[in-house]
Structure 1
Amino acid sequence: MRKPVLIIAALAVAATGVLAYVNLTGAPQAKAGECVAVTNGAEVVSTGCTAQNARFKVGRVLPDSGANCPVSDDEYVQVVPSSGGGKLCLLPNLVEGSCYQPADNDDSWGPSACTGEETIKVTKVIAAAGDGSGCPEVDDLVSIVYPEPPTTYCLAPVHKVPA
C-alpha cells in the first residue's frame, strides 16, 4: 500500500519540475497578437494594447533564439526575452489617428503631440499585409507592412496630413 503512494508522490514532484523547467526555459510567455512593453532591451511584459507602455505587438513567437523572423520589407524588432528561451518578432503598436516620433532607446515609436519634423501620423491601419494601395493618397505617405499579424500602417509626416 505504501509503494503506490510513493510512486504518485514521485510523479507529482517530477511533473512540477517539468512544468517549472518549461516555464523558465521554454518559449517566451508572450503570444502572437498580444501587445507588450519591452524594457532594458530584453525584459518583456504582456500588457493591454491601449496601455501607454504597449509600444509593440507580437508578430510571431519563435521557440529558438537563433531562428529568424519572417522576411518582410519592413523589419521586425527581434527580442530574446531575458526570461529565457525563444525569440519574439515585434512590430510597432500604432493607433490610427495618433502621432508618433522615433524613440531612440528601444527601436520603437513613442506617442507624440502632432508637431515636429520627425513626427508621423498614422492615417490608416489596415488589418491585411498589402502594398499600401489601400492607404489614403497623401504626399510623402509611407506604408509599412508586416505579414504576421497581417498589418499595413499608412504613415504621413504631420506637416503633410490634410486637415
Structure 2
Amino acid sequence: MKFAGTRTLTRLVLALVAVAVAVLAVSGCSMLKDASKSDTAKAKVGDCINVIEGSVTNSKTAPIACSDQKAVYVVAGVYDKKTECKEEQTSYEETVNGGTTAFLCLSPNFKQGACYNESASTGYKFVDCTAPEASFKVLKRIDGAADEFQCDTATAIGFRVIPDPKTTFCLGNPKG
C-alpha cells in the first residue's frame, strides 16, 4: 500500500541529507586545515604573541595577553599567502609539509621599562634587563604618536616608530 506524497517526502529527506553531507564536508575540510595550524597561526588581528625562542626556520611562539610584559608582538595582519609587511613589521610564516598555512604581519608591542633582544634574523624577544643578550630597554612608550622627536635625546640611544597604530618607543641602554 502506498500513501500519497511519500515520493515527495523521500526526495525532500534525501535532499536535506545531501545538503547536510555537503556542509559537513566543507566545514570538515576547513577544520582540518585549521587543526594543522599552531595557536600562533590561528591568531587574529589585535592578538599578541610571545617569542619563546627565535629562529630563522623554526621559532617557538605562543599567543599571550597583550598586557603581559612578554607580549613582544601584536598581530597587524593575517593572510592566506605571502604578503609584504609594512616597514617596522616582522613577518611570520608557518609552513607544514612544504605548504604555507599562515602568514602574519607583526608589529612591536614593547612595554615601557622592559628589555628586549633584537636579532636581524629572528626579530625581537623579551629578555631580563640583566641578561647579556639584552639589546635595549624601552625608556618610554608613546601611544598615539609616531614621532621620534618626542624621545629625550639626553637619555635615549634610539627609537622605533610604528605608523599604524601610531606608537613611538624611546630606547636606551639595558644596563643603564
- When normalised by structure 2's length, the TM-score is 0.67
Corresponding residue number in structure 2 for 1:91: 107
SS in 1 for 2:126: strand
Contact 1:124-1:136 within 8 A present in 2 as well: no
Moved over 6 A (4+): none
Contact 1:61-1:86 within 8 A present in 2 as well: yes
**Given the alignment of the two structures, is residue 110 of structure 1 paired with residue 126 of structure 2, yes or no?**
yes
Measure, in 2, the Cα distance between the counterparts of 1:43 and 1:15.
35
Match of 1:30 among 40, 43, 64: 43
Q: Which runs of 5+ in 2 are unaligned?
A: 1-8
After superposition, residues 12-161 of structure 1 pair within 5 angstroms as 12-25=20-33, 28-37=41-50, 41=58, 45-51=62-68, 54-64=71-81, 66-70=82-86, 72=87, 74=88, 76-82=89-95, 84-102=100-118, 106-114=122-130, 118-128=134-144, 130-159=146-175
Measure, in 2, the Cα distance between the counterparts of 1:45 and 1:118.
21
Cα deviation, residue 156, structure 1: 0.9
Cα deviation, residue 62, structure 1: 2.4
Q: Which has the higher contact order (CA 8 A, sep 6+)?
A: 1
Change over 3 Å in CA distance of 1:6–1:77 after alignment to 2:
same
Q: What is the CA deviation profile of residues 26-61 of structure 1, one whole-angstrom value per residue up to 9, with x for unaligned ones? A: 895211121024567366543212456533221222
From the CA coordinates, give the structure whose radius of gyration is larger: 2
Higher strand share: 2
Contact 2:148-2:159 within 8 A present in 1 as well: yes
- When normalised by structure 1's length, the TM-score is 0.72
Measure, in 2, the Cα distance between the counterparts of 1:105 and 1:53.
19
Measure, in 2, the Cα distance between the counterparts of 1:6 and 1:115.
67
Cα deviation, residue 142, structure 1: 1.3
Change over 3 Å in CA distance of 1:85–1:98 after alignment to 2:
same
**Backbone CA RMSD of aligned residues:** 3.3
Measure, in 2, the Cα distance between the counterparts of 1:24 and 1:151.
38
Indicate the percent of aligned positions where both proteins have the same amino acid. 27
The number of aligned residues is 156
